[in-house]
Amino acid sequence: MLTLFAIANTCIPIGESWLSRLTTANSLGIVAGLVLGKPLRIALFSLLGVSVGLCVSPKNLAWQDIIGVAFLGGIGFTMSIFITLLAFTDQHIINNSKIAILAASLTAGIIGFVWPKISLKKSR
């Protein structure tokens, strides 16, 4: 339901070539940034905070759990679409970016849902 809301409010024209739009360099960069970059930064800064002594990790929390939840940080389509509208003037690039943002947010959300379920099941 949320994806339908996002598509309706961002005015994304979904035609027959929407899948091929995900292979452009701009779209691949967006997907890599949201699906890999944001979780990596969240996990590394969490590790840095614990290593420096700014915070303490709970005893029953494994780093694989933190990494799994860090993927939920990739669900950032509202701000990403806002920045896209500020950064680009070409409507074709804007539409491609919007599709890539929604696809990346959906991918990060699925990984962020499945990863902790699997890692918590293994730890039990």
- Give the model confidence (pLDDT) of 31-60 as tens digits: 999 999 999 999 999 999 999 999 998 888
What would the pLDDT profile of 92-114 be if each residue is shown by its tens digit? 888 889 889 988 999 999 999 99
| pTM higher than the cut 0.75 | yes
3 state DSSP class of 68: helix
Q: Give CB contacts under 8 A, 24+ apart, made by 40-49.
A: 40/70, 41/73, 42/66, 42/70, 42/73, 43/67, 43/70, 46/70
Burial of 7 (0-12, 13-18, 19+ CB in 10 A): middle
Within 13 Å and on the Cβ side, how many CA atoms surround 72? 9
Residue-by-residue DSSP string for 14-60: --TTTTGGGGSHHHHHHHHIIIIIHHHHHHHHHHHHHHHTSS---TT
| C-alpha pair distances (Å), 104 with each of 26, 70, 91 | 13, 14, 20
Give the closest residue to 77 by CA, choosing from 24, 29, 30, 22. 30
Mean pLDDT (the chain) is 85
- d(C-alpha 36, C-alpha 71), whole Å: 8
